[in-house]
Amino acid sequence: MRFFISVLATVAMLAMAPSAFAGVVYTASATTSDSSPLTAVTPGAQISIEITMLTDDFAFGNAGSVNNYDNSIVQLDTAASFIGAVGQNIFAGVCYAPGACFNGLPNGKDNSNFAEVTGTGPGVEAEFFSGVSLIAAQGNGSLDQGEDLVSGGPQFKIVFNAIGAAGSSTTINIGTYLNYQDAYSGSVDGNVTNTSVSVTIVPEPGTALLMGLGLAGLAGAGRRE
């Protein structure tokens, strides 16, 4: 990651860009495999987070990740996640056909090198985007294609498995975070709007019912005495 930041700094010095608006803006939509709410996720359920990156700037480079979550509560599922192919353009300026988008930032990440790491920041991190170009990206993200190859949808899908104990909670940060050595370069470097998803694990419905019946039985026994 330090190498990425040094390259990004070089690009920023060599390239000139017009005045800035918003740099890069992340949005996320999260669902669970059993439709349980994020405030009461069933143990064993999958949590799918669809991530969209948009900009009204002319980006020269960016790194984006999910980070700072408790991996004893949610477990990254790299096989179920979708990062795309190496070289896939983000902020593409033109798309000629499904899978044929150009004039953006080529992503150096794909499913083969998408992994959870430590040592880049205060907690765990999994980088889903890493792209640098000497020529500014010509698009805003609205033409980019995700796993369905349809322009305008989320570019990435990150999947976690709920493995935590009942009552445990964690927050998954999503975006470009300097404390994880991520960086953005455009008209104004570091101009990012990040987002997050919070998750709370609850007992499985059958377990909660049995616990309730057990407590009711103990209360009844106490009254008979």
pLDDT at 212: 46
> How confident is the model at residue 99, as a pLDDT?
87
> Who's near 140: CB < 8 A, 6+ residues apart?
54, 55, 56, 91
- The number of distinct structural domains making up the chain is 1
Does the pLDDT at position 3 exceed 90? no
Q: CA nearest 92: which of 148, 54, 125, 40?
A: 54
What pLDDT, in 10s, does the model give residues 99-137? 899 999 999 999 999 999 999 999 999 999 999 999 999
Instruction: State both tokens at 109.
Output: 């990440």
Mean pLDDT, rounded, for 17-30: 76
Residue 213 vs residue 40, higher pLDDT:
40
Least confident of 23-32, 109-118, 178-187, 212-221: 212-221
Q: Could you tell me what percent of the chain has a pLDDT over 90?
A: 73
**Alpha carbon distance 69, 159 (integer Å):** 13
Cα-to-chain-centroid distance, residue 24: 14
d(CA 201, CA 223): 33
CATH number at residue 159: 2.60.40
The answer on pLDDT for 190 being more than 80 is: yes
With CA atoms as reference, report the closest residue to 29 among 16, 38, 17.
38
pLDDT tens digits for range 25-68: 999 999 999 999 999 999 999 999 999 999 989 899 999 999 99
Residue 15's pLDDT is what? Answer: 45
pLDDT at 17: 44
pLDDT of residue 4: 52
Give the domain range for residue 64. Answer: 2-224
In this prediction the pTM is 0.84
- Residue 111, number of CB atoms within 10 A of its CB: 16
